[in-house]
Amino acid sequence: MASKNPLPAEETLDPQNWESLRALGHRMLDDMLDYLKTVRERPAWRHIPEQVKAQFNQPLPLDPQPPEEIYQEFLENVLPYPVGNIHPRFWGWVFGTGTALAAFAELLAASMNTNAGGLDHHSAVHVEKQVIDWFKQMLGFPASASGLLTSGCSAANLIGLAVARDIKAGFDVRRDGIPGASRKMMLYASQEIHSSVQKAVELLGLGSDALRYVPVNDDFQIDLQALKATITQDRQDGHLPFCVVGAAGTTNTGAIDDLNALADICQRENVWLHVDGAFGAWGVLAPGVRSQLAGMERADSLAFDLHKWMYMPYEIGCVLVRHEEEHRKAFSLTPAYLTHGEGGRGMTGGDLPWFCDYGFQLSRGFRALKAWMSLKEHGSRRYARLIQQNIDQVRYLAGLIDASPQLELSAPVTLNVVCFRYLEPGLDEGGLDALNKQILTELHEQGIAVPSGTIIRGKYVLRVAHTNHRSRRDDFDILVREVIRIGKELALAIEPA
């Protein structure tokens, strides 16, 4: 019987015309391959013009716009103004470069739109377990360790430190919170440790005062005597030393702490060893530096990224925890609506744990796919060659700097970071700082190259952190040549004092 009030038509977000979206999709793939292929022909960075910025100040779209038009806006207003880290002369901060196949993997993962937080018997969890097993093997962790892919190393540090806090507290932190502590819980790291460690300490409710910044030696490694003395003093003061955070490659200079010595100290003191190996952990693949990372495999937890030195597109990091049950104890929480691991058949009848038992996220993307495809595409041997190549290239750069009277190295080059500055006779330290800052700005503004800047021993320096698979030796020739050219030009314009 026909209804008097017909039901409204139903909608979906699927394309109304699959064939036209298919054509657009093919165009996008072609365009992106061309974009990657021709990256060297574009400036390393350029400003986003004011009129383009204004395009991102528009009213909320209320009605549909054709995908072709949206893509055109992307081509005009988004694509031409990236931060630039896919460029062969981008070496600022610590940015990765990505690869073409891994970009396609993102499309595949997003099309499947899998939630890798849990559930059994679906492919994404097996892919993630597989890549974590490969990482354990590559980084010398035992097969029995647990692991979780994360958004990056900040999240990986947070998770590792949360496990350390809960396991070493001596009371139920999850129930009682930090007010349950009878002694102040203390952590130790070098003054060069990354800021994400302090952020994690703050988020964990320990307070930034709980993080003791230990001085470094001339090679920017944690001073072991100072570390031991600080731990002893804290015990005498009635505190609870519970964790040391070792650096496997500091952000400023790439320094690697003596990780075996840290592991010995932690064992003696019964404290947790967490290692931040954001990019440096991958130095183990390179025969030239592997021995400097000895001891990393003894850590209780290890945080690292894949979007820096393993060249995978953002975002992907990972945390490994030596004892799986400790990892799970810190995070597992199973309300009725997430019951799992009870055996039997179906989507919830598989093995414990789910990945949500190892971290704070329940819903999680299928990050593992790009890692799985990348590792298969290149193989660990090619990654090892690339990482060694990057190390050799920064040594080449250090050689160019050493051979240039206008330049000076500002810190030892141990891994993939080079800190250096331009010298101008007659300028005092303040003048040199200002000049080097200007040189950096000109390198960026002229689109030549993107190093970043930092302060080393109180002096402003240029800093190259190399995790770029596209760079060639002649890119470093260009950098050195241009730093000297710009330095000379700027110095000419400085009024004599």
Ligand X SMILES: Cc1ncc(COP(=O)(O)O)c(C=O)c1O
Instruction: Specify which residues 273 forms β-bridges with.
Output: 244
Binding mask 221-260 for ligand X (x = CB under 6 A): ------------------------------x---------
Among 166, 276, 300, 433, binds ligand X (CB under 6 A): 276
Residue 142 CA, chain-centre distance (Å), reads: 23
Binding residues for ligand X, rule CB under 6 A, total 11
Query: Which 3 state secondary structure label does DSSP give 319?
Result: strand
Q: Which two tokens stand for residue 44?
A: 């390393």
Query: Nearer Cβ to ligand X, position 94 or 398?
Result: 94
How far apart (Å, rounded) are the C-alpha atoms in residues 249 and 411?
13
> Least separation, in Å, of the C-beta of 449 and ligand X?
19
Among 278, 397, 449, 480, binds ligand X (CB under 6 A): 278
Dihedral in degrees, nearest 10, Cα atoms 265, 297, 390, 218:
0
| Burial label, 213 (beta-carbon count in 10 A; 0-12, 13-18, 19+) | middle
> Least separation, in Å, of the C-beta of 197 and ligand X?
7
Query: Nearer Cβ to ligand X, position 105 or 161?
Result: 161
How far apart (Å, rounded) are the C-alpha atoms in residues 96 and 199?
22
Q: Of the candidates 322, 214, 317, 194, which has an alpha carbon nearest to the alpha carbon of residue 262? A: 214
Which of positions 295-314 make contact with ligand X (CB under 6 A)? 305
Dihedral in degrees, nearest 10, Cα atoms 305, 310, 314, 315:
-30
Residue 126 CA, chain-centre distance (Å), reads: 24
> Least separation, in Å, of the C-beta of 150 and ligand X?
8
Q: Is residue 189 near ligand X by the rule CB under 6 A?
A: no
Token pair 């200002």 is found at 434
Q: How far is CA 299 from CA 65, 191, 261, 272, in A?
A: 52, 20, 11, 8
- Number of Cβ atoms within 10 Å of the Cβ of 401: 24
Query: Nearer Cβ to ligand X, position 276 or 433?
Result: 276
How far apart (Å, rounded) are the C-alpha atoms in residues 319 and 303?
4
Residue with the CB atom nearest ligand X in the bound state:
152
Residue 90 CA, chain-centre distance (Å), reads: 16
Q: Is residue 194 near ligand X by the rule CB under 6 A?
A: yes
> Least separation, in Å, of the C-beta of 277 and ligand X?
8
Beta strand 185-190 with 301-305: parallel, antiparallel or unpaired? unpaired
> Least separation, in Å, of the C-beta of 95 and ligand X?
8
Binding mask 454-483 for ligand X (x = CB under 6 A): ------------------------------
Among 97, 196, 416, 436, binds ligand X (CB under 6 A): 196
Query: Nearer Cβ to ligand X, position 313 or 317?
Result: 317
Instruction: Specify which residues 272 forms β-bridges with.
Output: 243
293 Cβ contact list (under 8 Å, min separation 6): 248, 256, 259, 277, 280, 281, 283, 284
Query: Nearer Cβ to ligand X, position 305 or 475?
Result: 305
Residue 283 CA, chain-centre distance (Å), reads: 15
> Least separation, in Å, of the C-beta of 234 and ligand X?
24
Q: Is residue 94 near ligand X by the rule CB under 6 A?
A: yes
Which of positions 406-445 make contact with ligand X (CB under 6 A)? none
> Least separation, in Å, of the C-beta of 310 and ligand X?
12
Query: Nearer Cβ to ligand X, position 340 or 469?
Result: 469
Binding mask 143-182 for ligand X (x = CB under 6 A): ---------xxx----------------------------
> Least separation, in Å, of the C-beta of 94 and ligand X?
4
Query: Nearer Cβ to ligand X, position 153 or 413?
Result: 153
Query: Nearer Cβ to ligand X, position 147 or 317?
Result: 317
Which spans of this chain sit near ligand X (rule: CB under 6 A)?
A: 94, 152-154, 194, 196, 251, 276, 278, 305, 317
